[in-house]
Each structure stands twice: as structure tokens, then as C-alpha cells.
Amino acid sequence: MRIWCRRPGYAFLAGALIAILAIQAPIAVLAQTLVVGGKYFTEQVLMAEMTSQLLTAKGLSVETRSGFDTTSLRKAQETGVVDLYWEYTGTSLREFNKVTEKLSPAETYARVKQLDLQKGLVWLQPSRVNNTYALAMRRADASARRIATISDLAARVLQGEPLNFASGAEFYERSDGLGPLQQAYGFQFGREHVVRLDPDRVYQVLRDSKLIDVGMVFATDGRIAAYDLLVLEDDKEFFPNYAMAPVVRKQSLERHPNLAVYLGSLAAVLDNETMARLNGLIDVRGNRISEVVSEFLRSRGLL
């Protein structure tokens, strides 16, 4: 069963899914089925599909459930509805564990691994993907306004330029999101200049609408290059490292110890360039996710 939800109401739907799926959880446990979860945006749906195809090829019984928002997916894993999914270290550090100190990528991974293990969740070998949040502008506009960094952007806003910002709903409210970012850089877009959209639509309006000047993007999204967007340098290093790694329930890993080996082999072939290319095949070229995944896994000798 695949559950995709890419509309503004996804948080409500995902929360309801947890309650419904929790009733079904004992059935999955008895059958030793591994439930692979995923969030609602392309990279997460892609990784859920990739994990499911890989583990199925290894002879495991797998069920895929995508379409969660971040908070609901974490809750689903903690309550045993989902066995594993790919999470980002910065998300666990800031959003789940409320750690605000600046840490190196290695320190970030070590900290979340330690903190989440206390909750029965095991971080396996990380990939070389750092899918950080970022702010982006149309390259021509950024050049004309001489904006290359977030500090440059803040200076223009403070000078009174009415720049409009498109934000994903989660980023608008997160502890590593818009409010704390503006505080760190000492500026405010102003409520009237912020539009909340489905994250997928941010790229489209940045490309097509002159009404939006700046948008929240994910660093590994293939549309950044395809739409000629410029990612602004996070010159104050506000965002932590968002290394992508598989996170597995401790009980699930004890039942299936080979998961560490299987998912480690997958993590080893993933980096920012690879993820941007795969995401682009889906979001820019319109290829089917299942086909993109199977072709990639075969090209790396994993199927």
C-alpha cells in the first residue's frame, strides 16, 4: 500500500493514518513485514521506493507507506507503525531533540545517534547527501540585485525592498525554519510578504511568477539547476548539516540484523549530485519513480 499526500491538508491526513495504521501494526509484526515510511516530497517518496525495492530483492517482506509530514512520520516510527525511513540529521537535532548549539556534521550525526538510541531508534550508516534547507532566487534577479548570500538578502529587506518569500508550510513553523532564520540574520520579511505553499509549488512560482522573489528549496532538488535558480549562501551557518541516513527501530533491527548491511550498501552510493539527478528525472522529466529507482539500483549492482 502506498499513501501519497501532497496537498496542504497532508498533516491532518497523516495524523489520522497513524491512528488507523496502529490498529494494523500487530498484523505486520506477526508477519514479520517491514514497514518502510516516507514523507510527502519527491526525495522521500523516492527513498521509500528505493528501500522497498532493495529489501524486497533481498527476500524481505516489505510494505511502503509514504505521504507523512515530518512530525507524523516520526511519531509513527516511535509507536511502531513504521519500522524504518530515511531522516536528516539536522531535523532530528533541531526538531526532535531541540538541540540548538552549532555542531560539525560528524558531531551532529553522533549526537542524534546517541539521543535517538535512548528512544529505541538506531541511526545506520549515513549517505553523503546533505539535503539542507536553502533560500533561492531566480539567478538573473539575484545578480541584478547583487544578492549572493542570506546576509545580502537581509540587507535589502532592511533597506525597505518589498521582497516576497514563498515557504513550505513546515518550514514556516519549524524550530530550524523561517522565524529562527530571520532572527539569526536580523530581519523580517513581514507577514504580508510571506506566502505558504506546498513545497513542490515553490519551485514553479519561483520560475514562473514575478510576484515571488525568494523561495524555500531543498538543496538536492533537481529543479534548482533546471530552472536556473541561485541558492543563497548561508553565510552565518544557520542551518545544521542535514545528512540523510536510514533510521530503524531497534526491535526491527534485532529481527533483521542484515538491514545494516543492505542499507549501508545503498547509503554508500548516494550523494548530493546523485540525488539531484534522480529527483530531476522525476520532477523535471516526469519519469515514473518506480522506473527511476529500479534503473538506478541495477546500475549500481544492488538489484
Query: What is the per-residue pLDDT across 108-160, written as a single tens digit (0 to 9) for each?
Result: 999 999 999 999 999 999 999 999 999 999 999 999 999 999 999 999 999 99
Tell whether pTM > 0.75. yes
Average pLDDT score over residue span 85-92: 98
Concatenated DSSP letters of 186-230: T----GGGEEEE-HHHHHHHHHH-TT--EEEEETT-THHHHTTEE
Domain ranges across the chain:
10-130+242-299, 133-231
Q: 133-231: which CATH number, 3.40.190.120, 3.20.20.70, 3.40.50.300, 3.40.50.970?
A: 3.40.190.120
- Specify whether the CB–CB gap between 51 and 293 falls below 8 A: no
Q: Is the pLDDT of residue 9 over 80?
A: no
CATH of domain 10-130+242-299: 3.40.190.10
Q: Which three three-digit cell numbers place residue 271?
A: 550523494
